Structure 1
Amino acid sequence: MNILDKIVAHKEGEVALRKVKRSIDELSSRPWFDREPVSAKSWITSPNRSGIIAEFKRQSPSKGLINGEAKVSDVTEEYIAAGASALSVLTDEQFFGGKIDDLLAARAINAAPILRKDFIIDEYQIYEAKSVGADLILLIAACLPPARLKQLAAKAKELGMQVLMEVHSEEELTDHLNEHLDLVGVNNRNLKTFEVSIETSIRLSELIPRDFVKISESGISDPATIKQLKQYGYEGFLIGENFMKTTDPGAACKAFIAQL
């Protein structure tokens, strides 16, 4: 069993427990649930913005603890002040040290679009994301059969949210594309082995239809890489570890964007 299989297996049990603790009706009655989501697609593609999706991440299975001291409210506010187009907040606790309240804290002080970064396998998690003010969700093709991913994407759109689908291979891309997606992200990190290669984004770029905003994810540590990826049609760039591994993620983000 690879790490991705372990994460999904744990997530199934986690979601079952969360359903017992709080119903969908309870989630739907939360103050943020009726908020009109912000369009991540518009913010990321705006010519006046950087295209950077800056991520708050405490740890990862491949790197262990990255930054255990940073506060989500401080860092996310600094990311937007630095020029980031959107935020990504890890909410997986077991493997990434996040929690759903992290997104709630980021939402409370930021107007920018926020991605709930998690391993979403159930409609319940989409309602949960909406209830804490997320604007878009992540659906990982490697975790979901095509029909199931399409169902979850349709539910997100029904709730007014946008959808970022993440792929790592040609097969995942062609099998999982559907009309309910807004953005297609290519993860340069193989979630099964954690090997990273920017060539993955370059290889898949021509296969992503123009209807979808292209996002390159993971392994981006040099502004020159973004300039290169833009030549292949990428407009959004998800960066987390490169900022979070520093003592001042907000300042690292600002210095990075200044070089663009």
Structure 2
Amino acid sequence: AKAKVSLETLKSQIEESKTKYPPIDFKARLRKDAAHGVSVVAEVKRASPSKGDIAPGINAGEQGLKYAKAGASAISVLTEPTWFKGDIPDMRSVREEVASLPNRRV
């Protein structure tokens, strides 16, 4: 069973995340990287509705870090549990891992 989170707790978590990890300008990041070649949005997902299981056992944080080190302009983390087998902690895990890089690419 999933734990329920109050609206106030969720709002607090969002504000804390904004402080810890300031948002990036997604469009500007893609344009900047495209000016130097190609912009790539890498996607962390364990499954898809059309393909079924893709990588059911991956550690989302480790995968996101690999993408960032390989030069991804941005990382998309699918958090939908039924079809993509993801969750919100996957997104947090990727942010934590990528934030450790000297030039954070979150």
What range is the shorter-chain TM-score in? 0.7 to 0.9
Going from structure 1 to structure 2, the CA distance change for 1:41 and 1:49 (only over 3 Å counts) comes to farther
**One-letter amino acid matched to 2:105:** A
For the residues of structure 1 that align with 2:36 and 2:95, how far apart are their CA atoms?
22
Unmatched tracts of structure 2, length 5 or more? 99-103
Is this contact kept in 1: 2:62–2:97, CA < 8 A? no
Deviations, residues 183-207 of structure 1 (Å, cap 9, x unaligned): xxxxxxxxxxxxxxxxxxxxxxxxx
How high is the TM-score relative to the length of structure 1?
0.34
Unmatched tracts of structure 1, length 5 or more? 1-16, 114-260
CA RMSD of aligned residues (A): 1.9
Q: Does 1:23 align with 2:9?
A: no
Going from structure 1 to structure 2, the CA distance change for 1:66 and 1:25 (only over 3 Å counts) comes to same
How high is the TM-score relative to the length of structure 2?
0.79
The aligned residue for residue 73 of structure 1 is: 61
Of residues 49, 59, 66, the one that matches 1:61 is: 49
Deviations, residues 187-235 of structure 1 (Å, cap 9, x unaligned): xxxxxxxxxxxxxxxxxxxxxxxxxxxxxxxxxxxxxxxxxxxxxxxxx
For the residues of structure 2 that align with 1:50 and 1:80, how far apart are their CA atoms?
14
Q: Does 1:43 align with 2:43?
A: no
- Percentage identity across aligned positions? 33
Higher Cα radius of gyration: 1
**4+ residue runs over 4 A deviation:** none
The aligned residue for residue 105 of structure 1 is: 93
For the residues of structure 2 that align with 1:101 and 1:49, how far apart are their CA atoms?
32
For the residues of structure 2 that align with 1:24 and 1:85, how far apart are their CA atoms?
32
Structure with greater strand percent = 1
Secondary structure of 1:93 counterpart: coil
The aligned residue for residue 210 of structure 1 is: none
Shift of 1:82: 0.7
